Amino acid sequence: MGDLHERVALVTGASRGIGRAIALELAGRGATLVVNYRGNTAAAKEVVSLIESEGGRAIAVQADVSVFAEAQRLVKDTLDAFGTLDILVNNAGIARDKLLMRMSEEDWDQVLNTNLKGAFNCIKAVQRTLLRKRSGRIINIGSVVGVTGNAGQANYAAAKAGLIGLTKAVARELGSRHITVNLVAPGYVETDMTADLPAELLNQAVDMIPLGRLAQPQDVAGVVAFLASDAAAYMTGQVLCVDGGMAM
């Protein structure tokens, strides 16, 4: 499934966790990768090295996607390096979890700006290129809490729910040009973001998951690779929950 040779993919927030797994998976299927990161240069360079060690092509590009000018520069650097762009994966995200009564305006703004506005910025920046090509794949990484809600995550859930609306609206706008826009909504995934959660909370989460385990980043990456491939050419505006059955 999913020969991605001669495709160029940009993955935001690709130095760690789910983004790293997605970058490696797409590269393993033949895509040329742009590994975006905000602060962890060493981790991003490690992803590039892993791709190159397997015979792939990749570059790391620093940019804070919550800032529109930086998202524009990120896309420009991609086009300058490889001449085109075929696949955008909006994965960059942060969490600032607190009960609403303790949540500051800054906690709200930071999460919405990175997780939702960041996706808008990148889509806006790549849109013209994809429209000219009359093809492309945009894949947004949401969360199951954008479907279900979750106490202590009003900002994160709002941003991820907003991504669902953004996905569907842009899918309608770009569909006539053969550009698909879909969203993958992971459940609990074993990453740095969940590593700091109390063991009791993680055990409670596993109890709610019919498949009885947390996801691995690779579980999400495989679904993203499918959506990036020709096998998913007739799917757009869809929300795919990769959550072990948690939200069903």
Active site residues: 156
Any bridge partners for residue 189, and if so which?
215
What is the separation, in whole angstroms, between the first and last Cα of the chain? 27
The answer to whether residues 76 and 68 touch, using CB atoms and an 8 Å cutoff, is no
Alpha-carbon span 169 to 248, nearest angstrom:
24
Greatest CA separation found in the chain? Answer: 51
Q: What is the CA radius of gyration of the chain?
A: 17
The rounded Cα 157 to chain-centroid distance in angstroms is 15
Distance CA 217, CA 244 (A): 13
As a whole number of angstroms, the distance between CA 192 and CA 73 comes to 27
Residues in CB range of 96: below 8 A, 6 or more apart: 103, 107, 110, 111, 155, 156
Structure tokens at 75: 């896309």
Cα–Cα distance, 242 to 175 (Å, whole number): 24
